[in-house]
Structure 1
Amino acid sequence: MRQVQVHPPNSRWSEDFTAEAARIALALGDNVVQVHHIGSTAIPNIYAKPVIDLLVEVNDINQVDGCNVAMISLGYEVMGEFGLPGRRYFRKDNAEGDRTHHAHTFQTGSFEIVRHLAFRDFMIAHPDCAQQYSDLKRALAAEYAEDIDGYMDGKDSFVKAMEQRALQWRGRA
């Protein structure tokens, strides 16, 4: 059972993203269009689980399957679509068994890319909403310290509401 812990904002998260994005881009090769930093560690000044979320945009999602060995060599576990058709998902733990990275890979043109980037960009542009999200995450982490499902369920309605606002803000609702 993984402990639910959120940590204060850390400038190292951006550096960790940059380094890991370069490794992943090398592993996946010319198929990579861009690697985006998403998730709470990409939003300045908020608390987050210290897991770097990367959104890897590729030209051909099916070519990613041929790179599984390269991703394993970087320490990732290959999860396939993992509940989202059209995604290739990889996750990585450190030597202590703590989750450190998620790599969500989608083909260019996927609505999932739009959705994730809209949420991130909206939160960055609206620090008051980002602070509400941070406060919610801290409260849920305290309440559900040993229950990741309870923590995730507790965030769900807020995230969905903010996502809708973000898509409208971006002009794609």
Structure 2
Amino acid sequence: MTKPLQEMSLEELWQLFPIELKAPDQKYAAWYEAAKQNLLALLQDFHITRISHIGSTAVPGLIAKPIVDILLELPAGYEQAALTERLTAAGWLLMNQQADEELLDFNRGYTPAGFAEKVFHLHVKPAGDWGELYFRDYLIAHPDVAQDYAALKKRLKREFEHDRDAYTDGKGEFVRRVTELGREEFAGRYRN
């Protein structure tokens, strides 16, 4: 019998959900649009400020983990408990909460048997000038930098296929540097 995900150790989860990198695929944009429409309908009374497709699947031509990342921005002071209740009732799993900063992370598509066909990460934050948007935009505007990122991801996957934290940490400096370049090039683009 398979253990529920909440009862698995980090090592068990990393074995079940290794780092996978897939060729670019236009289906990710369609997955995002469908998820966006579902979230807009589900959360219509939460006054969504902005909803965005972020991460590597939002960058044309970039290899990516087959996971669609969504940034959902709400007015500061949003009702975290009510939002969590609504999303979990709709099948989203709360993975991380930093209540004092109004940050919530949910996922969908992780099963005790491994990845489902469609996998999503939903990052909920108060409306802001978030770095993820600048990182995405810079990679789109600079395909050569996106290919440098692809090479880094391939190397890190070889080293850390079953250690998601080390894989993410290994991208950290690159992401910080490119985010800052994006903030310089597109200064203030996402200020409300």
TM-score (norm 1): 0.88
The offset of 1:140, in angstroms, is 1.0
**1:97 aligned residue (114, 131, 139):** 114
Q: Percent identity?
A: 28
Counterpart residue type for residue 13 of structure 1: Y
Q: Aligned residue for 1:168?
A: 184
* Of 87-96 and 39-48, the range deviating more from structure 2: 87-96
8 Å CA contact 2:80–2:102 kept in 1: the answer is no
Question: Aligned partners of 2:100 and 2:156: how far apart in 1?
Answer: 25
Counterpart residue type for residue 151 of structure 1: Y
- Is 2:92 the partner of 1:76? yes
The residue correspondences of 1:1-173 to structure 2 (distance < 5 A) are 1=14, 2-30=17-45, 31-79=47-95, 81-82=97-98, 85-95=101-111, 96-98=113-115, 100-108=119-127, 110-112=128-130, 115-172=131-188
The offset of 1:69, in angstroms, is 2.8
Instruction: Classify 1:50/1:102 alpha carbon distance in 2 versus 1 (closer, same or farther; 3 Å).
Output: same
8 Å CA contact 1:61–1:106 kept in 2: the answer is no
CA displacement, residues 37-86 of structure 1 (integer Å, 9 cap, x when unaligned): 00010001011111110011222442343132321133211245348822
The offset of 1:171, in angstroms, is 2.4
Counterpart residue type for residue 29 of structure 1: Q
Instruction: Classify 1:169/1:84 alpha carbon distance in 2 versus 1 (closer, same or farther; 3 Å).
Output: farther
CA displacement, residues 88-109 of structure 1 (integer Å, 9 cap, x when unaligned): 221112444327111111222x
8 Å CA contact 1:61–1:88 kept in 2: the answer is no
**SS in structure 2 opposite 1:62?**
coil
Greater than 6 Å deviation, 4+ residue runs: none
Question: Aligned partners of 2:185 and 2:32: how far apart in 1?
Answer: 26
Counterpart residue type for residue 5 of structure 1: E
The offset of 1:143, in angstroms, is 1.8
The offset of 1:11, in angstroms, is 0.7
TM-score (norm 2): 0.79
Question: Aligned partners of 1:74 and 1:155: how far apart in 2?
Answer: 32
**SS in structure 2 opposite 1:48?**
coil
Question: Aligned partners of 2:104 and 2:160: how far apart in 1?
Answer: 29
Instruction: Classify 1:98/1:150 alpha carbon distance in 2 versus 1 (closer, same or farther; 3 Å).
Output: same
Question: Aligned partners of 1:50 and 1:61: how far apart in 2?
Answer: 32
CA RMSD, Structure 1 to Structure 2 (Å): 2.0
